[in-house]
Amino acid sequence: MKINWGTYIVIAFVLFISFIMYFVLKVQSDSKYNNELVVEEYYKHDVHFQDEMARIQNAHDLKVKPIITVGTNGITIVFPADFAPKAIKGTVALYRPSDKKFDFQVPLSFTDSASLFIAKDKLIGGEWDINMEWKYNGTSYLTKQEIYIK
């Protein structure tokens, strides 16, 4: 039996589609391929986008901004000296883009100095997103920064 070139094209298409479908099904069913959203309620989060932009602008307009530094022992967040430490309220959220099970939040609580230390043993190596939401003298601020932990 002789097969013409049209049959070869159909066989090639079927093999290619089978190959693609195999990988699609494998990624959807295998638990090692994590394909979750970064934010659970994406549309609710999107509604508050303008408010978020206003808080980012408030933080950007500060003459002296909080400083986030990555050291060998962990992350240090230092607020300017002219801020009263007890008047700063908020949270620092650390997001791991590759796996949300490592995400955590730390409340901003200060005693005498306006600095916060997050130990490196809470962080695994790789990229982290820091979202620091804080309020000072009735004004809301949002500071975002990407860091890399070695």
Q: Give yes or no for residue 52 having a pLDDT over 70.
A: yes
Q: Give yes or no for residue 150 having a pLDDT over 90.
A: no
Q: Give yes or no for residue 38 having a pLDDT over 70.
A: no
Q: For the residues of 85-150, what is the DSSP string, one character each?
A: GGG-EEEEEEE-TT-GGG-EEEE---SSSSEEEEEGGG--SEEEEEEEEEEETTEEEEEEEEEEE-
Position 60 scores a pLDDT of 93
- Could you say which architecture CATH assigns to the domain 42-149? Sandwich (2.60)
- pLDDT by residue (tens digit) across 95-123? 988 877 888 999 988 777 788 888 888 88
Position 93 scores a pLDDT of 93
Position 12 scores a pLDDT of 96
Position 125 scores a pLDDT of 87
Residues 6+ apart with CB under 8 A from 46: none
Contact 106, 116 (CB under 8 A): yes
Position 146 scores a pLDDT of 93
User: Residue ranges per domain, the chain?
Assistant: 1-35, 42-149
Reported as type and span, the H/E element at residue 67 is strand 67-70
> Exposed, middle or buried, 11 (CB in 10 Å: 0-12/13-18/19+)?
exposed
Q: Give yes or no for residue 40 having a pLDDT over 80.
A: no
Q: Give yes or no for residue 47 having a pLDDT over 70.
A: yes
